[in-house]
Amino acid sequence: MSVERKIIHIDCDCFYAAVEMRDRPALRDVPLAVGGAAERRGVIATCNYPARRFGVRSAMSTRTALQRCPRLVLVPPDFQRYREASQAIHAIFLDYTDRIEPLSLDEAYLDVTGLSHCRGSASLMAQEIRSRIAAEVGITASAGIAPNKLLAKIASDWRKPDGQFVITPGEIDAFMCELPVARLWGVGKATAARLADMGAQTCAELQRWPLERLVQRFGKMGASLYRQCRGIDAREVVRERMRKSLSVEQTYAQDLADLEACLAALPVLVDDFAARFARSGAVGEHAEPLVRAKPVVKIKFDDFTQTTVEAAGAPTLSTFAALLRQGWARGARPVRLLGVGVRLDEAGPTQPELWD
């Protein structure tokens, strides 16, 4: 008989902004965002909850954020301090389990199956971890507790900020029936709209679709949707996660007017990427790939529409230039941002988006 897994997903609340508020208490009650300057076409990395009440969101342009909230206090990111806070949080995790899968500086899965801390209660462990993060690091975190990673991550968002939510094995069916499909992994606006056209806005409605028809419509994603809408997720908590992608991008102070201007800007971007790629260890001593690297180009046009293009081949200037030509033709208008990178694949499974 298999042991029911106990997975905790810890997610710090507005992490970068939380560190800034911790270090500068005067910022606690004012709308605050961490990001780049508007005059440099900066983007919001994260913001606190007072800012969110004005409609400010992560990944929003700083200019739009300031239009929505003229009193917004904008600070540049300080990644050294964020890394130090992350390391302190990770040290707390290690007091409970070594089965830790970091997702980012402020987010991780913990597998606490069969452990004796807090009388074996994952809920009590999550509560204690959150209390220690508040006391020792000075910021708040939310937690989700469930039998698998999918549900734990969904649950951690349920009572944000500074809360936690438990989904027990016996509650999965009822919980999933009410869950909007937009909360599932990999379901963005476009996929959610396609599912709505099919009459599937909740997981209960999606469960009526047989596996074969979902695969026919969505390919491999269809099989994932079939499992997810039933709360099924067999993924293990992995201590070391292989890098899925590597990329660089540049937002330009002045739009690149045409394809020729984009091509002229490309070599500097590719040189920057090549240096990062060499440092990453994705190539061996004799430049033989340790992983399969699929080149990708990202383009954001001046109307904020964007496209990505990828193809098999080596990540060289000529390959990126060919992809750039293909992608630019889709919009054929001035460009505000270019990105180049690779998707890295060791064993062949599908990868998440390069620029999530």
Give the residue numbers annotated as catalytic, written as ranges.
107
Backbone dihedral angles phi then psi of residue 304, each to the nearest 5 degrees: 75, 5
Contact status, residue 261 vs residue 332, Cβ threshold 8 Å: no
Q: Closest by alpha carbon to 153, among 190, 113, 117, 103?
A: 103
Residue 294, amino acid: K
**What CA–CA distance (Å, rounded) separates 13 from 300?**
29
Q: Give the torsion sign (CA, 198, 356, 237, 155).
A: negative
Residue 290, amino acid: L
**What CA–CA distance (Å, rounded) separates 247 from 249?**
7
Q: Closest by alpha carbon to 229, among 166, 182, 194, 189?
A: 182
Contact status, residue 123 vs residue 152, Cβ threshold 8 Å: no
* Region of residue 117 (phi > 0: left; psi between -120 and 50: alpha; otherwise: beta): beta
Tokens 């993924």 belong to which residue?
235
User: Is 106 known to sit in a ligand binding site?
Assistant: yes
**What CA–CA distance (Å, rounded) separates 86 from 104?**
9
**What CA–CA distance (Å, rounded) separates 79 from 243?**
20
Backbone dihedral angles phi then psi of residue 63, each to the nearest 5 degrees: -60, -45
Instruction: Please report, in range form, the residues annotated as the binding site.
Output: 11, 106
Residues making up the annotated binding site for Mg(2+) are 11, 106
